[in-house]
Amino acid sequence: MWALCIGALLIISITHWVYRWRNPRCDGKLPPGSMGWPLLGETLQFFTPNTTHDIAPFIKERMERYGPIFRTSLVGRPVVVSTDPDFSHLIFQQEGHLVESWYPDTFTEIFGRQNVGSLHGIMYRYLKNMVLYLFGPESLKKMLPEIEEVAIQRLKQWSNQDKVEVKDATASMIFHLTAKKLISHDSDSSPENLRANFDAFIKGLISFPLNMPGTAYHKCLQGREKAMRMLKNLMQERQATPKKHRSDFFDYVLEELQKEGTLLTEAIALDLMFVLLFASFETTSLALTLAIKFLSDHPRVLKQLTEEHEAILRKRDDATPGLSWKEYKLMTYTFQFINETVRLANIVPGIFRRALRDIQFKGYTIPAGWAVVACPPAVHLNPMKYEDPLSFDPERWEGIEVNGASKHFMAFGGGMRFCVGTDFTKVQMAVFLHCLVTKYRWQIIKGGNIVRTPGLQFPDGFHIQLMKKDGLNLEDA
């Protein structure tokens, strides 16, 4: 008898728990949607791979069923997903008031609990100003010749190889430059393969968060641990020895760390260096790989881009050894090309925030504490804003100046947290494209197919053969 009573109570408790999970409390009207299975939510569906440039099936199916704002549950948290340009723009503008930056626990385990994306208010603004010391326009003007020289050297090396895997090669090129600027690490001569740790990290960054040996997520955490150990050792070495005129970003960070009354801690400093090393090369190399794929698929675009850059060379004074900042700013079609590439790339599938208090929008209530995910792909592929949104057409940006985020373009985030590395990414891409199209031609060997899980990947790579253009002497280039 007692066993039957206990069993009945257990069933009632589980039934009540499942009901409460699927019907969360709210002082208002929740957006429509499904919370999926208890605890698991709809996480498995969210991570289901797809091979399209279109909006991910997980998002598209729910947009059609529930509308532009819907609720779900991911990795154990209630989430409201926004594909509404007005609502996404609102949450970017209301940072610190209605919402704050937030990422799932799995992300903070990977990036560090005191990474720049998880900090708020004065601390975030302090770190942002530090990063602008390295990636701001004045610093980029001085860095431009070095960026061009690295691109020239790497392209020349690749032209002597039978084939090049573009994603890996561009990532290596950018990591070489940024690791040198950040920590004076020379990837060509150092016995420590620092980037290999980040490769392991990247494979599990946007994967199902199962921390068991053999899983991508477990390897990701191991890659972070090794990279952080290397950075901590480097910090201790520099703190123990006098400055050797390196003048890299790490020295600047350590100087800030030693100032009286500083807001910086060693843990925050190490997480900052880790995030910068990763963010500086991974997303840009993905964008460059897709850019070369688009140029291969659209000869007319390649022709127009080449004409712009050859015109720069023709107008240049013979006494000028390389690209100037003035020439860079005149790359009108190149910027259109970059905008169109990142619009379709949608490298970041979702931008996370957390509601600080109940948010009222279009009759719906988003409860305080819930996650809010802005979905850039839905904004960038909106047929009401972009005619034939899946077609690659740089000319759609003609006459449109994009210096920040807007309701209809959020490839680099928005609001107070607009990516501080945006200008660095654009300079890297523009300079590389200049060196590529003026000196080389190429043919595809294999690969180039994409998979989104939900982040962008090239599972088979993208292999090309790079050849110098006929009649061009690269020794003099």
Q: Annotated binding residues for heme, as ranges?
A: 419
Q: Which of 158, 172, 144 is nearest to 441 (CA)?
A: 158
Residue recorded with tokens 């980040």: 198
441 Cβ contact partners less than 8 Å away, ≥ 6 residues apart: 466, 467, 468, 469
Q: Which of 125, 154, 439, 444 is nearest to 281 (CA)?
A: 154
Q: Which value, to the nearest 10 degrees, does the dihedral of the CA atoms of residues 107, 111, 114, 118 take?
A: -50
Could you tell me the CA-to-CA distances from 42 to 45, 46, 308, 469 in Å, in that order?
A: 5, 6, 47, 51
Q: Are the C-beta atoms of residues 205 and 217 closer than 8 Å to each other?
A: no
Packing angle of the helix pair 166-183, 266-279 (nearest 10 deg):
150
Amino acid making up residue 267: A
Peptide bond into 454 cis (omega under 30): yes
The Cα–Cα gap between 82 and 376 comes to: 9
Residue recorded with tokens 């409460």: 20
The Cα–Cα gap between 456 and 423 comes to: 21
Q: Are the C-beta atoms of residues 414 and 92 closer than 8 Å to each other?
A: yes
CA angle 244, 249, 254 (to 5 degrees): 70
The Cα–Cα gap between 283 and 171 comes to: 9
Binding positions are: 419
